[in-house]
C-alpha cells in the first residue's frame, strides 16, 4: 500500500468510529449534543475514563460504581441500570472492533434553559466514546517526568468535592496551564492548608523508607482506581502502603515519587520544583510498582468485549 492510500484508509477507519449518544450509535462526525446541555453550559455532569486491554474492559465494575456514586452526589439519575450501562460500554467498543481502547463515558444533566436550574433539564445526556488509545510515550517511563507544585489550590471538598468525577475540571486545567507555561510535564496540587492532594489528572504517591504514602481522598482527591490497585498490590512487593498527610517538604525529601491514573498507569517523577527526587532517575520501587501493575493488567480477567474470541491471556 502506498503512502497516500494508507493515509486514506486510516482516515476512512476514523470516519467509521461509532459513538453512543442518547440511545443510538452514530458515526463520530454525526454525533450531536444540544448547545443547551448543562454539561456544556455549566459543567453539570459526570464522567469516567476507562481502558480496554486486549479486548477486556479494565475494572469496569469499579468505574461504574464510581460513576453512580458521582451521580448520587450531584443528584443526577442515570437513566440506565449499571448492568445496562455495562452492556452499552461493551457494545460501543465492540462496534468499533477495538482491542486496545480508551473509553469516555459521560452523563450530563441534559438540555435545559440558560439558567442553572437543573429542574429545567428533563433528560440526562448519555455519551459513550471509545477511541484508539494515545499511549503515553514509553520514554516517559524510562526518564520520568518533571513536575511543579501548582499555585492553584485544589477545590476544597466542601465546595466541590474532588471525589465527584464531575465535568467541571477548570480547577485542574488552571493547574495544568501553570506547568505547561513552565515547560514542565505535570503539576501537583495542594489544598488550602498546604497538604498535597493530587495531580491534575492523577493521584500521587511518595516512597519514603520503603513505604508507599498517598494523601487521603477526604482532602478532595479523586478515589483513583489505579491508586486503589497500587495499595492492594503493595504487599505483593513486600511494601506497606498507607494514606498520609503530605506537604511540599515531604515531596522534596521523598526517596521516590510516582503518579497513578488509568491513562498514565504508573509514572515516575524525577524532579519537583527544580529539586531532584532520589538520584534524579525513576526510582527502583516506582519501576517495580509499574511492572507489577502491568503484570496484573496482563492477567486481568474482567468483562470481555469479544467473549466468542476469548483466548487465554498468557
Near ligand PMP in 101-140, by CB under 6 A: none
Nearer to ligand PMP by Cβ, of 7 and 291: the residue is 291
**Torsions phi, psi of 137, nearest 5?**
-60, 135
Alpha-carbon span 105 to 278, nearest angstrom: 38
Whether 62 contacts 89, CB under 8 Å: no
Nearer to ligand PMP by Cβ, of 121 and 206: the residue is 206
Segment near ligand PMP (CB under 6 A); pick from 26-34, 117-125, 136-144, 225-233? 225-233
Nearer to ligand PMP by Cβ, of 197 and 272: the residue is 197
Residue 165 annotated as catalytic: yes
Alpha-carbon span 27 to 296, nearest angstrom: 34
Binding of ligand PMP by 202 (CB under 6 A): yes
Binding of ligand PMP by 92 (CB under 6 A): no
Q: Taking CB under 6 A as the rule, which mask of x and - marks residues 41-70 in contact with ligand PMP?
A: --------x---------------------
Q: Taking CB under 6 A as the rule, which mask of x and - marks residues 254-293 in contact with ligand PMP?
A: ------xxx-------------------------------
* Residue from 24, 165, 176, 291 carrying the catalytic annotation: 165
Near ligand PMP in 149-178, by CB under 6 A: 172
**Residues annotated catalytic, as ranges:** 165
Q: Which residues bind ligand PMP (CB under 6 A)?
A: 49, 172, 198, 201-203, 222, 224-227, 260-262
Amino acid at each position: 500500500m502506498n503512502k497516500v492510500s494508507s493515509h486514506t484508509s486510516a482516515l476512512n477507519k476514523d470516519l467509521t468510529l461509532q459513538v453512543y449518544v442518547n440511545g443510538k450509535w452514530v458515526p463520530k462526525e454525526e454525533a450531536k449534543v444540544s448547545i443547551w446541555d448543562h454539561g456544556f453550559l455549566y459543567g453539570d455532569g459526570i464522567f469516567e475514563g476507562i481502558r480496554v486491554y486486549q479486548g477486556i474492559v479494565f475494572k469496569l465494575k469499579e468505574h461504574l460504581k464510581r460513576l453512580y456514586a458521582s451521580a448520587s452526589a450531584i443528584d443526577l439519575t442515570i437513566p440506565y441500570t449499571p448492568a445496562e450501562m455495562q452492556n452499552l460500554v461493551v457494545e460501543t467498543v465492540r462496534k468499533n472492533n477495538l482491542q486496545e481502547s480508551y473509553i469516555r463515558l459521560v452523563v450530563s444533566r441534559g438540555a435545559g434553559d440558560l439558567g442553572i436550574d437543573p429542574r429545567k433539564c428533563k433528560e440526562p445526556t448519555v455519551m459513550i466514546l471509545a477511541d484508539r488509545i494515545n499511549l503515553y510515550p514509553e520514554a516517559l517511563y524510562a526518564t520520568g517526568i518533571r513536575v511543579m507544585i501548582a499555585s492553584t489550590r485544589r477545590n476544597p471538598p466542601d465546595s466541590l468535592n474532588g471525589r465527584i468525577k464531575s465535568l467541571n475540571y477548570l480547577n485542574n486545567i488552571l493547574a495544568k496551564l501553570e506547568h505547561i507555561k513552565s515547560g514542565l510535564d505535570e503539576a501537583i496540587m495542594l489544598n488550602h492548608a498546604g497538604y498535597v492532594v493530587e495531580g491534575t489528572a492523577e493521584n500521587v504517591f511518595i516512597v519514603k523508607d520503603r513505604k508507599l504514602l498517598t494523601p487521603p481522598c477526604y482532602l478532595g482527591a479523586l478515589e483513583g482506581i489505579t491508586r486503589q490497585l497500587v495499595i492492594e498490590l503493595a504487599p505483593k512487593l513486600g511494601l506497606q502502603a498507607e494514606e498520609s498527610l503530605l506537604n511540599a517538604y515531604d515531596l522534596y525529601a521523598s526517596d521516590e515519587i510516582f503518579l497513578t491514573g488509568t491513562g498514565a498507569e504508573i509514572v515516575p517523577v524525577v524532579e519537583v520544583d527544580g529539586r531532584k527526587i532520589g538520584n534524579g532517575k525513576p526510582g527502583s520501587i516506582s519501576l517495580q510498582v509499574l511492572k507489577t501493575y502491568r503484570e496484573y493488567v496482563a492477567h486481568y480477567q474482567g468483562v470481555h468485549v469479544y467473549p466468542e474470541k476469548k483466548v487465554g491471556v498468557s
